[in-house]
A and B are shown apart, each in its own frame.
Chain A
């Protein structure tokens, strides 16, 4: 028997949806996330079909995958369907490094709307103005005292990756911070 999957923010779906149109917020649960540590990710890039980010605090995307820069030799691969830990570890071959499935560590929340940056500014000190944080920016920082990975996409879209045990708190904070824009 298989248990039904319930996402971390399932209880928050309605309250997050109620923030529209100021802020369209929705969880994107159950994505495969792999923490990759390697000094030379070129072989992995070929297997996944997406180049690894060479510049700190950026992410790359392609072929259904996203690769986030977490450190000079550390990346988070948000993998497409069919790509798992074994596939990426196989691509690593005999070179030094590690691939660990950390899918359960974080959940993702997609934010979109004209007030995305205003809402985030209530709890995040990083400058998210498009001139300072263009599309493709990926920062690890504190949002409302919670450690998050913040991906800036084009067109006022932002994805937050938040630790599982902080997800409910962050959803509550988002609902509160967005109140004045409703």
Chain B
């Protein structure tokens, strides 16, 4: 089983984690000003890159904290993990 390095608890088995989708999707500054199309784009549209992808993960069976990870979608290799609120690190696949 793949090990995911939780920024608090260290490397743990993948089964202890939950996936949270794309990271760094900012909530709109003024949601009421958005058109239906813009709102739908915020709610439903996500990147789908072939390569490094910043994602949210939750260590749900451990410390239950959310954190971010950069994962290479081609190899499933985790290139970097960082705590919520920290900026995304520069990674090269």
A71 partner residues in chain B, CB cutoff 8 A: 8, 63-65
A141 partner residues in chain B, CB cutoff 8 A: 12, 16, 61-62
A57 adjacent to B10 (CB under 8 Å): yes
B12 adjacent to A126 (CB under 8 Å): yes
A56 adjacent to B1 (CB under 8 Å): no
A70 partner residues in chain B, CB cutoff 8 A: 63-64
Is there a chain B Cβ closer than 8 Å to A125's Cβ?
yes
A56 adjacent to B12 (CB under 8 Å): no
B9 adjacent to A125 (CB under 8 Å): no
Partner of B65, one of A72, A139, A142, A147: A72
**A-facing mask of B47-72, CB < 8 A → 1, else 0?**
00000000000000111110000000
**A-facing mask of B1-27, CB < 8 A → 1, else 0?**
100000011101101100000000000
B contacts with A: majority SS: loop
Is there a chain B Cβ closer than 8 Å to A61's Cβ?
no
Given A125-B1, A147-B61, does the pair A142, B8 have CB atoms closer than 8 Å?
A: no
A142 adjacent to B16 (CB under 8 Å): yes
B13 adjacent to A140 (CB under 8 Å): no
Which residue, of A70, A74, A126, has the highest number of chain B Cβ atoms within 10 A? A126
A142 adjacent to B1 (CB under 8 Å): no
Count of chain B residues with a beta carbon within 8 Å of a chain A beta carbon: 13
Q: Number of contact residues on A: which range applies?
A: 10 to 19
A contacts with B: majority SS: strand
Which residue, of B15, B61, B62, B65, has the highest number of chain A Cβ atoms within 10 A? B62
A147 partner residues in chain B, CB cutoff 8 A: 61
A140 to B61, CA, bound (A): 7
A71 to B1, CA, bound (A): 24
**B-facing mask of A67-81, CB < 8 A → 1, else 0?**
000111010000000
A17 to B74, CA, bound (A): 51
Closest to A70 in B: B63
Partner of A56, one of B8, B61, B64: B8
Interfacial residues, chain A to chain B (CB-CB below 8 A): 56-57, 70-72, 74, 125-126, 139-142, 147
Interfacial residues, chain B to chain A (CB-CB below 8 A): 1, 8-10, 12-13, 15-16, 61-65
Nearest 10 A/B pairs, CB to CB: A71-B63, A125-B13, A140-B62, A56-B8, A142-B61, A147-B61, A57-B9, A71-B65, A142-B16, A141-B62
